[in-house]
């Protein structure tokens, strides 16, 4: 039975909401058992409490757009007015995170399919954007929290592939100027468990991304989970199959970072 695009998108949104529920729950459960002063190896500038505060605020920030249909990016003043600040008491921090996470899940699950609100990456709809973005926000930061304990739960391959797609087709192209290089270089990453390929071509004028194989200066082969973590700088390339010019991968890791501009 073939489904209509609307039905397919609804299924994808529901899957992302469920992933957000799962990943945020794992994040909170791990944080609850971890010292708030624990350093985060994957985010060396943060301690655990800093990370939980960050993700909790991002969830609340996203909830405002989804729940209230806000059509423009909130100003810093509006954020201070509308977002519940993190508690100073470490003992209350995880409960504060759980409350914000639950409110976001409820807002996304209950939002109309034709929701109109501000969003910042290309997507089939604003609702599809926020469900996907917050699922991966929770997922990658769940890895950060678990890195403090040294036991990281692997991502499901399909979820990891989706996260790579969001990174290379969204964040990378949004800030492509940081990846420009002369002479041109190409990076190919291949997921050995799913058969997916991503080819990133970089030159002095543009960055192009294709979901296909092709000639590359550097090729990385690994599971979809390991590639997802690598491209988000949550693991090193140690132990992965890397062929060719490793400086191309190093260029990616230095420049392909998620920022606002």
Assess whether 14 and 109 both reside in one domain: yes
What is the helix (H) or strand (E) element at residue 242, kind and residue range?
strand 241-244
Kindly report, residue by residue over 175-213, the tens digit of the pLDDT: 889 999 999 999 999 999 999 999 999 999 999 999 999
Q: Is residue 218 part of a domain?
A: yes
Q: Is residue 173 part of a domain?
A: yes
Instruction: State residue 175's pLDDT score.
Output: 82
Parallel, antiparallel, or unpaired: how do β-strands 207-210 and 197-202 relate?
antiparallel
Q: Is residue 260 part of a domain?
A: no
Assess whether 183 and 141 both reside in one domain: no
Assess whether 94 and 192 both reside in one domain: no
Assess whether 70 and 94 both reside in one domain: yes
With vertex at residue 252, the alpha carbon angle to CA 258 and CA 207, rounded to the nearest 5 degrees, is 85
**Average model confidence (pLDDT) for the chain?**
95
Assess whether 143 and 161 both reside in one domain: no
d(CA 61, CA 84): 9
If DSSP codes are grouped into helix, strand and coil, which group holds residue 222?
Answer: strand
Kindly report, residue by residue over 63-93, the tens digit of the pLDDT: 999 999 999 999 999 999 999 999 999 999 9
Assess whether 14 and 139 both reside in one domain: yes
Instruction: State residue 37's pLDDT score.
Output: 98
Kindly report, residue by residue over 115-161, the tens digit of the pLDDT: 999 999 999 999 999 999 999 999 999 999 999 988 899 999 999 99
Q: By percentage, how much of the chain surpasses pLDDT 70?
A: 97
Domain range holding 198?
157-255
* Domain at 107, CATH number: 1.20.120.450
Q: Is residue 210 part of a domain?
A: yes
d(CA 186, CA 184): 7
Assess whether 80 and 172 both reside in one domain: no
Q: How many CA atoms lie within 13 A of 197 on its CB side?
A: 11
Instruction: Mark out the alpha helices in the chain (DSSP H runs).
Output: 5-32, 48-68, 76-82, 93-110, 126-147, 157-166, 172-174, 224-231, 246-255
Domain total in the chain? 2
Q: Is residue 104 part of a domain?
A: yes
* Domain at 167, CATH number: 3.30.1050.10
């Amino acid at each position: 039975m073939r489904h209509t695009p609307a039905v397919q998108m609804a299924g994808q949104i529901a899957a992302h909401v469920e992933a957000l529920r799962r990943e945020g729950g794992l994040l909170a459960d791990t944080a609850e058992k971890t010292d708030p002063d624990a350093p985060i190896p994957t985010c060396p500038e943060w301690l655990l409490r800093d990370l939980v505060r960050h993700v909790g605020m991002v969830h609340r920030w996203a909830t405002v757009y989804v729940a209230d249909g806000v059509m423009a990016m909130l100003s810093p003043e509006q954020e201070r007015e509308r977002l519940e600040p993190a508690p100073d008491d470490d003992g209350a921090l995880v409960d504060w995170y759980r409350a914000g996470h639950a409110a976001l899940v409820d807002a996304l699950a209950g939002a109309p399919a034709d929701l109109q609100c501000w969003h910042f990456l290309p997507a089939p709809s604003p609702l599809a954007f926020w469900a996907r973005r917050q699922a991966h926000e929770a997922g990658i930061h769940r890895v950060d929290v678990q890195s403090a304990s040294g036991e990281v739960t692997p991502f499901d391959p399909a979820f990891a592939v989706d996260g790579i797609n969001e990174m290379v087709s969204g964040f990378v192209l949004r800030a492509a100027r940081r990846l420009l290089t002369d002479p041109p270089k190409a990076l190919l990453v291949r997921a050995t468990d799913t058969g997916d390929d991503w080819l990133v071509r970089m030159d002095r004028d543009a960055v192009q991304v294709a979901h296909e194989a092709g000639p590359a200066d550097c090729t990385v082969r690994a599971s979809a989970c390991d590639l997802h973590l690598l491209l988000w700088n949550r693991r090193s390339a140690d132990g992965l199959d890397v062929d060719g010019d490793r400086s191309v991968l190093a260029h990616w890791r230095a420049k392909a970072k998620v920022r606002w501009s």
